[in-house]
């Protein structure tokens, strides 16, 4: 998977500033524990940390190649799933390869086809290419934003990296947050594409290229959703979905290291495991699968709008049905507090508390057994699995659908901060901006029109939140997680499938259920959507409340001036943890993360 970073400065000689480029690169060691390298020229430095997955011996980066007088250097994070087909095409065109890696394919594809080569790629990727002859830096991110890529411009140059910590290792980037950034800190899944919390920091938007040369910085979109009538019959739609899924999973099984799959007992992960088990070569043996549960969940579990049933019985049914080599990771909920700050280190910004920690701990344990894991992110977003899809179809709102339980976003803000920031107004503005972006289908009305909006909001606002969480928690432990449901061909096809077909049979993700009906046990095939498990033990809740009490009693706490202390104390002293609706994750651990972030990163707040 890897971590990348770099520095371009037209006014400095970076060849004598190698120590800074190396320091930026070393912050990415968690993403690439196997090797590291730096490439330097007069005005540019590229850094790379490698997680070796394909061609373990020869895939060292940054990688340099030449062809017909052109020369380029790349630092690349991700996987190109169609690299074999591209390699064959390039070989026929006269390119001589010295490695078996997808990195060299990517680099030579650029030398052969130029900037347009990115439209040929099937994969998850974030990379930087320095064209030596034209003195051009390209920053490129995959279509869905599966892999992250941040950058910050300053007069005469640009810094970039897989995570903010790479830029923070350079003294030119100062950690500050302004009102726009605080909107993203205090909300969930409403970030504008390209925003990145820290003042002056940007993300390369999914499906975009950022080109930097001596004339400035240029932005170009190479991919977007296109709306058109869906003309396939229900039967053909089911067949097409199955074919696309089978191909996506088969492509993503390629690895020169151990590969497994995450299994929750839900429809999405179970379908992936079934397809992976079927597509796996006989010499690789049984598919390894991994699930997560909490000690005491038999008694501690309480159902809510997003968690309707425990995973364990359904996991057992799938393992028995597919005969996988299964590992159940059992977490002790009180340990979540002790690992809360590990997730802050992974994200570099405040996250969503125990929802992050439980995923981090799962990935940490999975990494002991394997290097690559398949995961089901995207299925709910493209097929309509979350409960708010049906809610919006029945009673449309003018809001982000997952915000149904929020009545006063400003309730946790201090009076001083509310004088500068109105979260309700900010979110209304962001919602209006997002809806205005929707690629409409002429003549589409009623439920179909609204559901196109809902799917667009899901794909461009909620899914990036999930993918970012998945990436940070997995890469913190050096685990590559692949997401076959995010294959852009499947996404493009499903974008135009009507809501009525996606809800085939009257159940959420009915289309997906029909497409994999022959692969799964009946109880799993018909299981309603249930979210990722989280710790609900009394010991954990007590520990969190005590930690917030300590924070509120600390006069040096940097978070206190931003928070409504009275509201927080009421939460601390009550039995309330969440509202049981689609509302954001519980506030108490998020308050602790905010305080730790402001302290550890020495973030200056600019109102």
Catalytic positions, please? 2
Q: Is 60 helix (H, G, I), strand (E, B) or coil?
A: coil
The whole-angstrom separation of Cα 380 and Cα 533 is: 16
SS3 sequence, 321-353?
Answer: HHCCEEEEEEECCCHHHHCHHHHHHHHCCCCCC
Q: What is the dihedral of CA 596, 597, 600, 603, to 10 degrees?
A: -140
Cα(595)–Cα(599) distance, integer angstroms? 6
HSE-up of 339 (CA within 13 Å, CB side)? 24
Strand order through the sheet with 150-154: 35-40, 44-50, 3-9, 157-161, 150-154, 202-203
Residue in 104, 137, 109, 125 with CA at minimum distance from that of residue 6:
137
Q: What is the DSSP string of 162-204?
A: SSHHHHHTSTTS--EE-HHHHHHHHSSS-PPTTB-SSTT-EEP
φ, ψ at 455 (rounded to 5°): -65, -35
Nearest 10 degrees: Cα torsion 414, 416, 421, 423: 20
40 touches 14 (CB < 8 A): yes
| Residues in contact with 295: Cβ distance below 8 Å, sequence separation at least 6, in sequence order | 330, 331, 332, 333, 537
Where is 293: in which H helix or E strand?
A: strand 288-294
């Amino acid at each position: 998977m890897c971590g990348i970073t770099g520095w371009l400065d037209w006014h400095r000689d970076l060849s004598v500033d190698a120590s800074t480029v190396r320091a930026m690169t070393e912050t990415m060691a968690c993403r690439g524990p196997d090797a590291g390298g730096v490439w330097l020229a007069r005005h540019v430095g590229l850094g790379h940390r490698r997680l070796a997955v394909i061609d373990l011996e020869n895939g060292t980066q940054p990688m340099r190649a030449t062809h017909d007088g052109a020369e380029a250097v790349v630092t690349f994070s991700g996987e190109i799933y169609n690299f074999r087909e591209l390699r064959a095409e390039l070989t026929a065109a006269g390119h001589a390869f010295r490695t078996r890696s997808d990195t060299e394919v990517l680099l030579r594809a650029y030398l052969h086809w130029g900037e347009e080569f990115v439209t040929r790629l099937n994969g998850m990727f974030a990379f930087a290419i320095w064209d030596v002859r034209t003195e051009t830096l390209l920053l490129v991110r995959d279509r869905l934003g599966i892999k992250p890529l941040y950058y910050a411009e300053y007069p005469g140059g640009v810094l970039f990296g897989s995570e903010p910590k790479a830029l923070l290792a350079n003294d030119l980037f100062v950690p500050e947050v302004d009102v726009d950034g605080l909107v993203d800190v205090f909300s969930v899944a409403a970030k504008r594409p390209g925003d990145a919390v820290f003042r002056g920091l940007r993300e390369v938007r999914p499906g975009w290229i950022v080109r930097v040369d001596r004339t400035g910085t240029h932005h170009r979109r190479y991919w977007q959703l296109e709306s058109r009538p869906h003309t396939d019959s229900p039967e053909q739609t089911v067949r097409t979905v199955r074919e696309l899924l089978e191909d996506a999973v088969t492509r993503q099984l390629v690895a020169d290291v151990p590969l497994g799959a995450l299994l929750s007992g839900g429809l999405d992960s179970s379908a992936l495991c079934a397809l992976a088990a079927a597509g796996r070569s006989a010499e690789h043996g049984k598919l390894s699968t991994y699930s997560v549960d909490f000690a005491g969940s038999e008694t501690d579990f309480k159902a809510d709008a997003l968690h309707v049933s425990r995973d364990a019985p359904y996991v057992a049914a799938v393992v028995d049905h597919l005969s996988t080599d299964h590992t159940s990771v059992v977490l002790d909920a009180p340990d979540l507090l002790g690992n809360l700050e590990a997730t802050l280190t992974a994200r570099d910004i405040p996250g969503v508390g125990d929802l992050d920690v439980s995923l981090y701990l799962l990935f940490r344990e999975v990494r002991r057994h394997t290097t690559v894991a398949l995961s089901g992110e995207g299925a709910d977003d493209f097929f309509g699995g979350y409960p708010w899809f049906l809610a919006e179809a029945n009673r449309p709102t003018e809001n982000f659908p997952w915000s149904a339980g929020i009545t006063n976003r400003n309730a946790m803000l201090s009076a001083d901060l509310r004088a500068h920031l109105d979260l309700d107004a900010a979110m209304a503005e962001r919602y209006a901006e997002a809806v205005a972006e929707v690629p409409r289908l002429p003549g589409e009305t009623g439920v179909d029109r609204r559901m196109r909006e809902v799917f667009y909001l899901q794909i461009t606002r909620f899914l990036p939140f999930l993918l970012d969480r998945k990436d940070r928690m997995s890469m913190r432990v050096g685990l590559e997680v692949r997401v076959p449901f995010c294959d852009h061909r499947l996404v493009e096809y499903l974008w135009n499938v009507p809501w009525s077909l996606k809800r085939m049979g009257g159940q959420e993700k009915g289309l997906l259920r029909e497409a994999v009906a022959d692969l799964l046990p009946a109880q799993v095939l018909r299981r309603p959507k249930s979210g990722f498990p989280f710790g609900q033990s009394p010991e954990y809740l007590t520990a969190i409340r005590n930690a917030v009490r300590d924070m509120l009693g600390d006069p040096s706490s940097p978070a206190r001036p931003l928070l409504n202390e009275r509201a927080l104390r009421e939460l601390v002293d009550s039995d309330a943890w969440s509202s049981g609706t689609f509302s954001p994750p519980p506030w108490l651990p998020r308050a602790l993360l905010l305080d730790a972030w402001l302290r550890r990163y020495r973030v200056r707040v600019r109102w």
